[in-house]
Amino acid sequence: MARKDLLKGLLNPTEVPASPSPAAPRMTKGAIGAVGQSIADLKSRSVIEVDPALIDEGGLEDRLDEDAAGIAELAASIHAYGQQVPVLLRHAPAAEGRFQVVYGRRRVAALRLLGQPVRAMLRDLSDRDLMIAQGQENAQRKDLSFIEKANFARQMRDLGFERAVICDALAVDKTVVSRMLTVADAIPLPVLHAIGAAPSVGRNRWLELAERIRERDPEAVAAAVTGADSDQRFEMIFRRLAPARPRLPAPPCLTGAGEIALGRVERRADETILALSHSAAPGFDDWLLARIERLHREFLARGEE
């Protein structure tokens, strides 16, 4: 099965009465063999019920935020309307009788909270197929943030997957994957986990944050992160690490007779601003404004001379 079509056989299963997935039938030739294969295919597409206590995590980290409130809300919905969509499981490679989640972790967590069995499709998947299936399912979800998808791509890359496989798993091209990996590599994991998903934050602001923490201790930055949710945590540390603005020199003091401080003068590229103090020279501003036209004529006359 081509990598891009991996999910096609995992979605919209034909439901049959729930039963544990049996061992594959012994294959024989001819019509009997064809019937046996058809029965095996039908059973492999069935929906079974599994005790959530037998289900372990599997695949890669895709969510960065602990969403206890969201799990509780999902549990309330399942309690009211039932589990509408089955999850996808595989047999745990190193534990007989146990299972791993391919996708549907939040549904499993909600059903574990309710103490109800999990309706699931069961597939025999290798580690490679598990991660590709998880990535393709993630690519179709709208609730994963940019940094969560970037972190998923980084994990696949670090496990040795080729760039083309990562592209197929996330349904994006090599340019997008390269941008994701640039961000994921630039943000230290302690900082990434301290902030979380930050769904409102895109690639450019993550890159700018990476510049701000480049010369800093990641553990110290992570310890300084606070906020009620991940977006607030990002904004807080982003502002806190903003480069200090250079302090502009104070405008020079404007002095009058007897070294009285009349105010200040500020020269800019296209204007000069006089700010006169009312307390230091009361009434001087009105006197000056009343004579500004005559003073200007005198200035122009000097130019004519």
CATH code for the domain in which residue 42 is found: 3.90.1530.10
Per the DSSP assignment, residues forming a β-bridge with 90 are 100, 123
The answer to whether residue 122 is domain-embedded is yes
Please indicate whether residue 128 or residue 179 has the higher confidence score (pLDDT). Answer: 179
Residue 106 lies in a domain: yes
Residues 97 and 10 in one domain: yes
Is residue 302's pLDDT more than 90?
no
Is the domain of 104 the same as that of 200? Answer: no
- pLDDT, residue 141, reads 57
- In angstroms, the Cα distances linking 271 to 88, 200, 266, 274 are 70, 41, 8, 10
Between 15 and 285, name the one with better pLDDT: 285
Question: Does 191 share its domain with 229?
Answer: yes
pLDDT of the residue at 140: 59
Same domain, 100 and 116: yes
Strand pairing category for 55-56 and 99-103: parallel
Residue 54 has pLDDT above 60, yes or no: yes
b/e code 63-84 from CB counts within 10 Å (16+ = b): bbbebeeebeebbeebeeeebe
Q: What is the pLDDT of residue 224?
A: 93
What is the spatial distance between Cα 275 and Cα 250, in angstroms, rounded to a whole number?
A: 13
In contact, 126 and 102? CB cutoff 8 Å: no
- Over residues 211-226, the mean pLDDT reads 92
User: Above pLDDT 70, what percent of the chain?
Assistant: 77
Q: What is the DSSP string of 167-179?
A: HHHHT--HHHHHH
Residue 253 within any structural domain of the chain? no
Task: Flag whether pLDDT at 108 surpasses 60.
Answer: yes
| Residue 137 pLDDT > 60 | yes
Q: Give the other-Cβ count within 10 Å of 202's Cβ.
A: 13
Does residue 196 register a pLDDT over 60? yes
- Domain of 211, CATH number, reads 1.10.10
Residues 63, 170 share a domain:
no
Phi, psi angles (nearest 5°) of residue 133: -65, -40
Which DSSP helix (H) or strand (E) runs through 194? Answer: helix 189-195
Q: Which of 32-46, 93-107, 172-186, 268-282 has the lowest average pLDDT?
A: 32-46
Nearest to 227 by CA among 204, 246, 200: 200
Name the strand (E) or helix (H) holding 263: strand 261-267
Question: Does 279 fall in a domain?
Answer: no
Q: Is residue 20 part of a domain?
A: yes
**38 confidence band (pLDDT: 50, 70, 90):** very low
pLDDT greater than 80 at residue 42: no
Lowest mean pLDDT among 2-6, 85-89, 161-165, 178-182: 2-6
Average pLDDT over residues 40-64: 73
Instruction: Note down the domain range covering 180.
Output: 145-242
Residue 179 domain-assigned (yes or no): yes
Q: Which residue has the higher pLDDT, 186 or 23?
A: 186
- pLDDT tens-digit map of 13-28: 433 334 444 444 444 4
Residues 159 and 100 in one domain: no
Same domain, 172 and 35: no
Confidence of residue 4 (pLDDT cuts 50, 70, 90): very low
Same domain, yes or no, for 63 and 122? yes
From 165, 163, 102, 155, select the one nearest 133 (Cα to Cα): 102
Residues 120 and 215 in one domain: no
Least confident of 23-32, 110-119, 182-191: 23-32
Domain boundary pick from 186, 212, 242? 242
Q: Are residues 137 and 186 in the same domain?
A: no
Query: Are residues 272 and 242 in contact, defined by beta-carbon separation less than 8 angstroms?
Result: no
The domain boundary, picked from 76, 108, 142, lies at 142
18 shares a domain with 120: yes
273: part of which helix (H) or strand (E)? strand 272-276
Same domain, 121 and 151: no
| Averaged pLDDT score across all residues of the chain | 79
Mean per-residue pLDDT, 79-93: 88
Give how many domains the chain has, as a whole number: 2
Quick check: is 288 in a domain? Answer: no
Given 192, 210, 242, the domain boundary residue is: 242
Residue 68 lies in a domain: yes
Distance CA 251, CA 266 (A): 5
Q: How far apart are CA 167 and CA 161, in angstroms?
A: 10
